[in-house]
Amino acid sequence: MNTEKQKWILLIALSVIWGSSFILIKKSLEHFNPYEVGALRVLISGIVLMPYAISKIRQFPKQHLKWLIIAALSGNFIPMFLFPLAETEISSSIAGIINSMMPIFVIIVGSLVWKFSTTRKQIIGVMISFVGACILALGSGESGELKIYPILLLILAVLLYAISTTTVKSKLYEVPATIMSAFVFSFVLFLPSLIALVFSGFFQHFEMNQDNFTGLGFVAMLSVFGTGMAMMMNYKLLSISTPLFASTVTLLMPIVAVMWGILDGETLTTLQSIGALIILAGLIFLRSKPKTV
């Protein structure tokens, strides 16, 4: 399979997986508090990937440890708590709009920190798709008070994702995707997530009942698919494309969220259809490659 086709397949697959994560977070929050959801999400991923990480221990990139820690904390730890915290107070439509801003943050961070260069068509494509994401979210029919604090939490999370994405592309591109993901969750973040879970009060009030096991099921799916597997795919995508292209997954995720809504009994409005088409139109511009990566 050629690289061009592979990166588009990975982009679509990630859009489906991460787009489905919102409903899994929502279901998880029905059973656990935001801190427990965030800690469990990282911890379970680490446990699942631990055997593979141990088998590849000799390939641990010690010389890049500093960058691995930065990428792990900014992309795989802190946002895992910020999103559940924000989703307890704001609607999914607002969260979708803010999450779709990631390509813009990638452009800003990439230009200021790593001196990435992007083409004019790529910037136009990002802006067109962002407009489409806004229309898609606004067409969801949700209403409510605009709360500043959770919005700032989401903006911080998206900024951290951009920092992680550009760091991986700039400093960790030599590390294989599967190995990097396993090391991040099993070695770098395992202890911090365990400590966070202890302080969240999980072990004090957890009881062996159907409700808690149902919640663990949702978090487990979120961890295995939305975190562990998805990050492997994301690292692979970064290795064969640009940070800007990889970040456009956040522009496709709202489409997946709407599809989940339809399966849950909601109807697709005309405005939502227009938004989805605009997002796809914007992605056409992203086929042009930047001068440097």
Phi-psi domain of 245 (left: phi exceeds 0; alpha: psi -120 through 50; beta: other): alpha
Question: What pLDDT was estimated at residue 75?
Answer: 92
Q: What is the mean pLDDT of residues 109-137?
A: 80
* pLDDT band (50, 70, 90) for residue 3: confident
Q: How far apart are CA 3 and CA 224, in angstroms?
A: 26
DSSP conformation class of 289: P
- The answer to whether residues 106 and 162 touch, using CB atoms and an 8 Å cutoff, is yes
Place of tokens 């919102």: 22
The per-residue pLDDT for 264 is: 67
- Over the stretch 215-270, which tens digit does the pLDDT of each residue have? 999 999 999 998 888 989 999 998 888 888 888 888 888 788 777 767 767 666 78
Q: State pLDDT tens for residues 44-98.
A: 999 999 999 999 999 988 898 999 999 999 999 999 999 999 888 876 666 767 7
Q: What percent of the chain has pLDDT over 70?
A: 88
Task: Sort residue 144 into left (φ over 0), alpha (ψ -120 to 50) or beta.
Answer: left
Residue 142: per-residue pLDDT: 53
Percent of the chain whose pLDDT exceeds 90: 38
Q: State the burial class of residue 95 (Cβ atoms within 10 Å of its Cβ: 0-12, 13-18, 19+).
A: buried
Average pLDDT, the chain: 85
User: 293 vs 117, which has greater pLDDT?
Assistant: 117
3-state SS class at 292: strand
Q: What is the CA angle 169-97-80, rounded to 5?
A: 55
In this model, does residue 146 exceed pLDDT 60? Answer: no
3-class DSSP assignment, residue 18: helix
Chain center to CA of 117: 23
Q: Is 117 helix (H, G, I), strand (E, B) or coil?
A: strand
pLDDT at 273 over 80: no
Q: Are 276 and 132 in contact (CB under 8 A)?
A: yes
Checking if the pLDDT of 171 tops 50, the result is yes
Q: How confident is the model at residue 292 (pLDDT cuts 50, 70, 90)?
A: very low
Rounded to whole angstroms, how far apart are CA atoms 260 and 4?
28
